[in-house]
Amino acid sequence: MFPLGATPSPGGTNFAVASGADAVDLCLFDDDQIEHGGETRVELTQYDAGVWHGSVPGVRPGQAYGYRMSGPWDPRRGLRYNPAKLLLDPYARAISGEVRFGPEVLAHRPDDPYARSDLESAAHVPRSLVIDTGFRWSERPRPRHRYSDTVLYEVHVKGFTASHPGVPAALRGTYAGLGHDAALSHLVSLGVTTVELLPVHHNVPEAFLPERGLTNYWGYNTIGYFAPHAGYSAAVRAARPGGQVAEFQAMVDALHGAGLEVVLDVVFNHTAEADHLGPTLCHRGIDNAAYYRLDPADPSHYVDTTGCGNSLNAADPFALQMIMDSLRYWLTEMRVDGFRFDLAPTLAREQGGFDRLSAFFDLVAQDPVVARAKLIAEPWDVGQGDSYDIGRFPPLWREWNGRYRDTTRDFWRGHDGLLGDFATRFGGSSDLYGGRGRPPTASVNLITAHDGFTLADLVSYDTKHNEANGEDNRDGSDDNRSWNCGAEGPTTDPVVLALRGRQQRAMLTTLMLSFGVPMLLGGDELGRTQQGNNNAYCQDGPLTWFDWDHVDEELLTFTRHLIAFRRGHPVFRRRRFLSGIDWQQLRWYTPAGEIVTGEEWADPGARSVAIYLDGVDEPDHAEDGALLLDDDFLVLVNAWWEPLEFVIPPTRDGQVWEPELDSFEPTGVASPAKLGAGDPVTVNARSLVVLRGPVSPVPGEMNAG
């Protein structure tokens, strides 16, 4: 099939677009035409297997272009062709310009959604750009971290460096800023392995946001699945349209050079064209029925499983091809390392219900490029009977574990009856993944993410405070599972502040010691606050940017120490569930030093447990085949609001235990001691203590299993 998009060649550029239109005009713009109107039209006359294409001599990188589609207008049958609307190329590698919302960008008349509008849109919409594909990579080897060794760091490209004093002003909030040494040094010193970037595909805000002086800061409103968002580019700021592509590639190259993987948050569930009354910018005008799921009862409307007005039609060959082509492009040409799929179940709804055997999952599993990437699902969408699909994705996939998040929050804020569930989440959520033959690393463990409270706000607010969003605090979740520790919002009370610090450290310690893949929300290590806003998607400013002038240095030091501790001890990074014949490797004790019984697991008032991890029995193997041996560990968990005495349980004969970490202490440093079976240990309120038992394995132990 003819390659879709704009492909530069020595004699010009080849253009191709998949569409069921009756005729397609390619529109070319020079600088004066972009500014003052006018265009050069070239009809694409070649049509093969649903693709309009043609070669235009003399067209070089930097050329601005768009498409006009001629065909039937019949919304009641899902047909929405309108040649008055200039359309972006769905395969555009770069996009230039902004959307100016108004009736001009609507394909229908504002007073009649079934009548075609003759208003010209060209002066109100962005252009596609032909790009230069000649970026020179450093050819440093890509970092490839096993899932078990991965520590994810979710971060917004702009917010991370928008006010960073170590990044030059011209680069702050850009791809170049994220690739700057000052940004890299923070990530490397923190110890994370993989940055998970909030959406970087070119996006536009919802129409109502500019009217309020706001924007879609998070970027979950994609219009270009092959184009880096121009708003994050220092080159574009410096009046070099199209420069965002090479700048993004240079950022990836720099992150790889620092040993960091790059995962993109991608939004293949809906586009920025909203519902049937939304703007016509690209996919709707090119082939509405191919790109979107239409309501069978009324094809003028969309099936909406995203809450955003439309859903991409992953059952259509051209829409599915676009998704797969985009994934391969970002992996091969932009060299990212994986993806986190927003509202991922939507991609598996060919016939309406979630289907783990859908064509999309089959194509991913069979693709020699995509199947090797990191693939992470947000395993829920909206408005369906099976919208919460956690634990149901195919073997290649990892999943954001909402059960882990909810249980960990509730356990540490003191809810009853959660000890058993806490143990299950800590051990990798075998109830969700073990029965399907998936490993603990299928679970991406998280406590906070971009959507909701930051960690500092989780322990500082009982309720959301979203007034700045202009919706009278109606938006955002009311179920935050948060606790303000005695005062709502900012306070100078030292008792409250100390308690908030302990709660943050306890949750971070739980996150980094649990089996699975931990994900840290960027800025949580700094004490970042959004002042109680749990839906800051529309806030592009100091509220959401990292505040580098007011860093919680104690928390940052603690988090660095904690991540280094996890990465230094393979016993906390197990790649399989410890059960059955391996049960001795993971044992659960009461504070009295006895094995926890079923009755004790079910005790609604139980909030404390000792976790034993054997470091030499049935160890995992390194990539070179070496055994990943470790010391033994005891993790003493006290979610009670008072200190609690634990008795060291009997484990290995003659084992001597040394305190290694104490989350009660702001530094995390535990008081030195030598402890043995039967000795008492006091664990302070709402905290964890980790004890290390040095092991010198004998050959029989080293080769066990």
Backbone angles phi, psi at 497, to 5 degrees: -65, -40
Distance set, CA 428 to CA 304, 443, 574, 651 (Å): 33, 7, 9, 22
Please tell me which residue in 247, 316, 378, 632 is annotated as part of the active site: 378
Tell me which residue of 638, 629, 669, 450 sits closest to 539, measured CA to CA: 450
Q: Where are the alpha helices (DSSP H) in 179-243?
A: 181-190, 208-211, 234-237
Contact 262, 253 (CB under 8 A): no
**378 has catalytic annotation:** yes
Which sign, positive or negative, has the C-alpha torsion 343, 347, 349, 354?
Answer: negative
Q: 206 Cβ partners below 8 Å, 6+ apart?
A: 216, 221, 272, 274
3-class DSSP state for residue 585? Answer: helix
Instruction: Give the type of residue at 449.
Output: A
Per the annotation, the verdict on 342 as an active-site residue is yes
Residues 539 and 468 sit within 8 Å (Cβ to Cβ): yes
The 3-state secondary structure of 302-333, one letter per residue: ECCCCCCCCCECCCCHHHHHHHHHHHHHHHHC
Give the CA angle between residues 5, 9, 10 to the nearest 5°.
Answer: 165
What does the DSSP assignment read for 243-300? THHHHHHHHHHHHHHTT-EEEEEE--S--TT-STTS--SSHHHHHHHHHB-EETTEEE
Distance, CA of 52 to CA of 47 (rounded, Å): 5
Tokens at 663, concatenated? 């989350």
Report whether 249 contacts 334 (CB < 8 A).
Answer: yes
Assess contact for 292 and 284: CB atoms under 8 A.
yes
DSSP 8-state assignment for residue 668: -
Q: Chain centroid to CA 520: how far?
A: 11
Q: Of 342, 457, 631, 632, which is the active-site residue?
A: 342
Q: How far is CA 552 from the centre of its chain?
A: 24
Answer whether 276's CB lies under 8 Å from 288's CB. Answer: no
The angle that helices 402-412 and 494-513 make with each other, rounded to 10 degrees, is: 140
118 with 158: CB under 8 angstroms?
A: no
Q: Which residues of 228-237 are buried (b: 16+ CB within 10 A; e: fewer)?
A: bbbbbbbbbb
Which residue has tokens 């904690």? 562
φ, ψ of residue 246 to 5 degrees: the values are -65, -35
| 444 Rama sector, left if φ>0, alpha if ψ -120 to 50, beta otherwise | beta
Cβ-Cβ contacts under 8 Å for 586 (sequence gap 6 or more): 427, 578, 579, 611, 612, 613, 614
Alpha-carbon span 229 to 586, nearest angstrom: 46
**Active site amino acids:** 342, 378
